[in-house]
Structure 1
Amino acid sequence: MSKYLSPDQVVELIPGMSKGALAQLRFTGKGPRYRKPTPKTVIYVESEVIEWIENSARFGTALEAV
């Protein structure tokens, strides 16, 4: 069974992340997948947040421009 996280719980999971930055990632479509079961409720699946973090792994800044 999936564990759902609120935006507050997601920002606790990611060091340096703010709720505003997480909201901006939602707006631009660059953040982790989320669900919106009601117009004012946003939730995330914990495993998808962790997968999004893991997919952001980089070997060096020089390679990001490619």
Structure 2
Amino acid sequence: MKKEETSKQEFDYISFARESCLVAGFFMLGYGIWSIYPPAAWIVCGGLLLWVGFPQKQKGGD
């Protein structure tokens, strides 16, 4: 019987830390703006989510 090898993927702690800081920063920005003027927080945070969520334009025309 042949022993199957399982590939283990190592957890990327640096990537996780960067993503966690990005999410925490987003929430802190949203809360700070909400403390000043709540509708502005919806506008700014919504704009940031759209900016991050849309795919980037590709060069080359196709």
Which one has the largest radius of gyration?
2
TM value normalised by structure 1: 0.28
